[in-house]
Chains A and B, each alone.
Chain A
């Protein structure tokens, strides 16, 4: 047995994911039964029992979903912690890219969280409408989410089981930093352009939210995913680290940087997910989703404020902005 699986944090994490999966498995079985028998317009004893069961299952699903939202930061935290015992890894960047499962795992976890948020939204309006108009939609969505969660559980296990603590790893400076000097920024942008875009897209998201232009908002969100990410990686991140060539999305999750990565990435992805969920609610369910949009605006504003704060803080302290050092040879 691989010794990493016996590491306390990993064991707790995997156990937590497993217990949750078992609970969701039961909900999944009941959910399939409900899908088969559901007939809202019937007044039979069976239908009444099913409605009660549906309510119970809904409570279980909501509870498990909230647990999932807690387990993601714990997953990141665990990866960060084991970067201490994996040689060569200075932060989660090394751990996550140790094997093929790392990045896949990251993306499936993100997809699951987005779908969970959408499920919660549909469920909210479904219950609010009294006659369960979206019962089948949300039930099928749950089936799909459960399949993803099953894959995720397997990858969780496979990922940690496959980490060999005797193999020396790369760290973020070789993963992200080396690219410096070639052309690190996507879409052929330079640093100044990407920052201007960053604030412009933020403004576009805010104005389209209040102007009720969902398609512009959607475009804003889609653009903000890469632009926001790369802006942090190649610009704002360097101010967090106060090192011009340190381009890593993970180190900022560590204690040295006051765990700022958690609120930073949390508010970023939170904003994106809230935005997509709100657009779906309005365009597909025809429901006014003001509250979700306000939360999205709040989320992005926290994100942009954190980013901006580190730049201003650095400037206030040092009277200059960070200039990237041209490095020809790294390390």
Chain B
């Protein structure tokens, strides 16, 4: 459950305030599949970052799973992010010199689990993300689509209830886009809350989208 009320995020540019998002209010229920749609610069990444606890708002209220995340002290916020949110960045942000397996197990390090439990969870996420066969490959040797699937597996491994993807299809070809959409459908069936920011019209055709949120110059348009 995500509740947002009168959310603003601005940047100080000289003496002016530039609003990346302005007065956004919305709510997303658990298990919903939500699109943030808008042209480049409309504020999609900004809004997504605040929901994911990567950025903080300038003003306004945001609560995620009943936690007022914008008010959490730093150490709580990073723990929250690690447990509740799976992030798939546009450029994947993998540790290029490590194997797929090690990349995927990294978020579990602070959780102090047994090696057996870690292994179980990593294998499960690799399977959902369709990348088990590359478990022992070095990340830098993967193709774009495989890198993304590795990032998906990493986002799943802590069993986060919310998955956010920033421009997931921007660097994929048609075949990989289809594989990706398949995985998203699987996650949707697992009752994960999924938020995708995109300007790719392909998403609008999907029949399992619950909400499309249009952004224009940082403002919500319906």
CA distance A65 to B59 in the complex (A): 33
Flag B56-86 by CB within 8 Å of A: 1 or 0 each: 1111110000010011111110000000000
Cβ B71 vs Cβ A51 within 8 A = yes
Cβ contacts under 8 Å, B40 to chain A: none
CA distance A55 to B71 in the complex (A): 11
The residues in A between 79 and 127 inclusive whose CB is less than 8 angstroms from any CB of B are: 127
**How near does chain B come to A132, taking the closest CB pair, in angstroms?**
8
CA distance A55 to B77 in the complex (A): 13
Cβ A43 vs Cβ B76 within 8 A = no
Cβ contacts under 8 Å, A51 to chain B: 71
Cβ A48 vs Cβ B74 within 8 A = no
CA distance A38 to B103 in the complex (A): 42
Cβ B71 vs Cβ A40 within 8 A = yes
Cβ A48 vs Cβ B58 within 8 A = yes
Flag A26-46 by CB within 8 Å of B: 1 or 0 each: 000000000000001001110
Cβ A127 vs Cβ B73 within 8 A = yes
Check: B6 CB closer than 8 A to any chain A CB. yes
Closest chain B residue, CB of each to CB of A127 = B73
**How near does chain B come to A53, taking the closest CB pair, in angstroms?**
13
Check: A284 CB closer than 8 A to any chain B CB. no
**How near does chain B come to A263, taking the closest CB pair, in angstroms?**
32
Cβ A55 vs Cβ B73 within 8 A = yes
The residues in A between 185 and 228 inclusive whose CB is less than 8 angstroms from any CB of B are: none
The residues in B between 146 and 161 inclusive whose CB is less than 8 angstroms from any CB of A are: none
Cβ contacts under 8 Å, B76 to chain A: 127, 130
**How near does chain B come to A295, taking the closest CB pair, in angstroms?**
21
Cβ B59 vs Cβ A45 within 8 A = yes
Closest chain A residue, CB of each to CB of B74 = A55
CA distance A282 to B72 in the complex (A): 24
Cβ contacts under 8 Å, A45 to chain B: 8, 58-59
Cβ contacts under 8 Å, B6 to chain A: 43
Cβ A44 vs Cβ B73 within 8 A = no
**How near does chain A come to B119, taking the closest CB pair, in angstroms?**
32
**How near does chain A come to B79, taking the closest CB pair, in angstroms?**
11
**How near does chain B come to A98, taking the closest CB pair, in angstroms?**
47
Cβ contacts under 8 Å, A48 to chain B: 56-59, 70
Cβ A130 vs Cβ B59 within 8 A = no
Cβ contacts under 8 Å, B61 to chain A: 43
The residues in A between 46 and 83 inclusive whose CB is less than 8 angstroms from any CB of B are: 48, 51, 55
**How near does chain B come to A27, taking the closest CB pair, in angstroms?**
18
Cβ contacts under 8 Å, B71 to chain A: 40, 51, 130-131
Cβ contacts under 8 Å, A127 to chain B: 73, 75-76
**How near does chain B come to A12, taking the closest CB pair, in angstroms?**
34
CA distance A44 to B58 in the complex (A): 8
CA distance A184 to B74 in the complex (A): 55
Closest chain A residue, CB of each to CB of B56 = A48
**How near does chain A come to B74, taking the closest CB pair, in angstroms?**
7
- Of the candidates B57, B59, B74, the one having the most CB atoms from chain A within 10 angstroms of its own CB is B59
Closest chain A residue, CB of each to CB of B7 = A43
Cβ contacts under 8 Å, A131 to chain B: 71
Cβ contacts under 8 Å, B59 to chain A: 43-45, 48
Cβ contacts under 8 Å, A55 to chain B: 73-74
CA distance A45 to B10 in the complex (A): 10
The residues in B between 46 and 61 inclusive whose CB is less than 8 angstroms from any CB of A are: 56-61
**How near does chain A come to B2, taking the closest CB pair, in angstroms?**
15
**How near does chain B come to A61, taking the closest CB pair, in angstroms?**
15
The residues in B between 1 and 33 inclusive whose CB is less than 8 angstroms from any CB of A are: 5-6, 8
Cβ contacts under 8 Å, B67 to chain A: 130
CA distance A127 to B67 in the complex (A): 15
CA distance A43 to B56 in the complex (A): 12
Contacting residue for B72 out of A43, A44, A130, CB 8 A: A130
The residues in B between 103 and 140 inclusive whose CB is less than 8 angstroms from any CB of A are: none
CA distance A187 to B61 in the complex (A): 63
- Of the candidates A40, A45, A55, A131, the one having the most CB atoms from chain B within 10 angstroms of its own CB is A45
The 3 closest A-B pairs by CB, nearest first: A45-B59, A43-B61, A127-B73
In the assembled complex, 16 residue pairs joining A and B whose CB atoms fall closer than 8 Å, in A order, are: A43-B5, A43-B59, A43-B60, A43-B61, A43-B70, A44-B59, A45-B58, A45-B59, A48-B56, A48-B57, A48-B58, A51-B71, A127-B76, A130-B67, A130-B73, A131-B71
Q: A48-B56, A127-B75 are in contact. List 4 more A-B contacts (CB 8 A).
A: A43-B5, A127-B76, A130-B72, A131-B71
Q: Which residues of A contact B (CB under 8 A)?
A: 40, 43-45, 48, 51, 55, 127, 130-131
